[in-house]
Amino acid sequence: MEYKPIRKVVSGNYAAAYAAKHARVEVVAAYPITPQTSIIEKIAEFIANGEVENLQYVPVESEHSAMAACIGASAAGARAFTATSAQGLALMHEMLHWAAGARLPIVMVDVNRAMAPPWSVWDDQTDSLAQRDTGWLQFYAENNQEVYDGVLMSFKIAETVNLPAMVIESAFILSHTYDVVEMIPQELVDEFLPPRKPLYTLTDFDNPISVGALGTPADYYEFRYKIAKAMEDAKKVIREVGKEFGERFGRDYSQMIELYRTEDADFVFMGMGSLMGTVKQAVDILREEGYKVGAAKVRWFRPFPSEELYELAKNVEGIAVLDRNFSFGQEGILFNEAKGVLYNTDAHPIMKNYIVGLGGRDFTVADVKKIAENMKAIIDKGELDVEVDWYHLKR
């Protein structure tokens, strides 16, 4: 069958819901939280309209139970999906470890939202980044199309490496903003993503398995190594699946870091998620004004694309890392990771951390331009500037 996309104008959340539908998820267990709600509402609508078959929707009483129910479903062999934000994700924390430890390929959309207090429902990456060490793959979407594509690819990748995957989109900027999304006809999704074939399931009554039993000090260590190894192997799988996706559907995701006009760049902006759309636009304008700049969008934060970062860092004088997140007592989380990767290499560009857009603070092309000026001055001076720049701070 020839690929002819179906174009729909949808929000990021609806893109996620359609992707879950097209992935033929079998169990959805979820709990409402702004700005995630319209994902699960849409899925409920699919069921109500008879648009999906064999989908069990479990309206749980909390996010902790949402993840627990997905874990049970996935262990019983089903393709399980959920979505949440901020407080909900934090409440799931224990079970995020459980999903990864039990090697269950659950896919979850996290709509990035700032952690309270103070209450906020707006965009901020600290919620998902705080789950960094749980053993989940993390994909950051720049736009609604990437939300859709990310969910489909994540199922395939997760089910190959037997680890859960999180697809992350920005509160409101994507979740509630409508845009054209090219959707894939069901038959072609089915070819790309066949039904899940679990290695082990609880439904094998002839060979009953026990999942998650006590691991003594004599064995626990190896279990952890296997997760570490699966995460490392996931890089290859991500690149292959990303390439296959490009070949089938025209959007290539073989690069874990998407590079934009970086070939001859003096310095680049690095960041994740929707803010990189703004950055790309600013790069075009800055280029016209004579700045040799580019953008490096980190698509996958886990596993971390160290190799690609090194290749990039070798060829630029500076990297301005834009973090819509913060680790108290340290610095921006992406900045911290990127620096750590490069320390053990011979690539040591000047790196500067800008904390931007926390709690949904507007981050615009004008802001990128100001940061460009600042970054250029630092590079011209040729000195390290180690201070974290709280860029928007009202003084």
Partner 1 sequence: MQIPENVKKRLSIPADEHFYAGHTACQGCGAALGLRYVLKTYGRKTIFTIPACCSTIIAGPWPYSTLDAPLFHTAFETTGAVMGGIEAALKAKGYKVKGEDGVMVVGWAGDGGTADIGLQALSGFLERGHDALYIMYDNEAYMNTGIQRSSSTPYGAWTTNTPGGKKHFLEKRHKKKVIDIVIAHEIPYAATASVAYPEDFIRKLKKAREIKGPSFIQLFAPCPTGWRAPTDKSIELARLAVQTAYFPLFEYENGKYKINMPSPKKEPKPIEEFLKLQGRFKYMTQEDIESLQNWVLREWEKLKKLAEVFG
How far, in Å, CA of 330 to CA of 323, rounded?
12
How far, in Å, CA of 315 to CA of 324, rounded?
25
How far, in Å, CA of 158 to CA of 228, rounded?
14
- Our finding on whether 75 is near partner 1 (CB under 8 A) is yes
> Taking CB under 8 A as the criterion, which residues in 88-147 touch partner 1?
94-95, 98, 102
b/e burial code for range 259-273 (CB count within 10 A of at least 16 → b): bbbbeebbbbbbbbb
Q: Can you tell me which of 8, 64, 251, 287 binds partner 1, judged by CB under 8 A?
A: 64
Q: Which is nearer to partner 1, 77 or 277 (CB)?
A: 77
Q: Exposed (0-12), middle (13-18) or buried (19+): which is 377, by Cβ within 10 Å? A: exposed
Q: Can you tell me which of 16, 19, 33, 69 binds partner 1, judged by CB under 8 A?
A: 69
> What string marks each residue from 312 to 351 as x (binds partner 1 by CB under 8 A) or -?
----------------------------------------
- Our finding on whether 44 is near partner 1 (CB under 8 A) is no
CB of 207 to partner 1, least distance (A): 9
How far, in Å, CA of 36 to CA of 243, rounded?
29
Q: Which is nearer to partner 1, 204 or 284 (CB)?
A: 204
Q: Where are the beta strands (DSSP E) in 231-364?
A: 257-260, 267-271, 293-298, 300-302, 318-323, 350-355
Q: Rounded to 10 degrees, what is the CA torsion of 81, 100, 71, 29?
A: -30
CB of 23 to partner 1, least distance (A): 13
Q: Can you tell me which of 29, 89, 174, 356 binds partner 1, judged by CB under 8 A?
A: 29
Q: Which is nearer to partner 1, 205 or 328 (CB)?
A: 205
What the block records as the tokens of 105 is: 């390929």
Closest CA to 150 of 72, 58, 55, 245: 245
Instruction: Using DSSP, state whether 133 is helix, strand or coil.
Output: helix
Q: Can you tell me which of 10, 43, 70, 161 binds partner 1, judged by CB under 8 A?
A: 70
Q: Which is nearer to partner 1, 207 or 344 (CB)?
A: 207
CB of 132 to partner 1, least distance (A): 20
CB of 72 to partner 1, least distance (A): 3
Q: How many residues bind partner 1 (CB under 8 A)?
A: 44
CB of 210 to partner 1, least distance (A): 4
The packing angle between helices 275-288 and 365-381, to 10°, is 60
- Our finding on whether 77 is near partner 1 (CB under 8 A) is yes
Closest CA to 390 of 374, 366, 377: 374
Distance of CA 55 to the CA centre of its chain: 25
CB of 357 to partner 1, least distance (A): 34
- Our finding on whether 184 is near partner 1 (CB under 8 A) is no
- Residue 104's DSSP bridge partners are none
Instruction: Using DSSP, state whether 248 is helix, strand or coil.
Output: helix
Q: Which stretch binds partner 1 (CB under 8 A): 59-67, 184-192, 271-279, 321-329?
A: 59-67
Q: Can you tell me which of 11, 36, 38, 65 binds partner 1, judged by CB under 8 A?
A: 65
- Our finding on whether 393 is near partner 1 (CB under 8 A) is no
Task: Name the site residues for partner 1 (rule: CB under 8 A).
Answer: 26-27, 29, 54-56, 58-62, 64-66, 68-78, 80, 94-95, 98, 102, 202-205, 208-216, 219
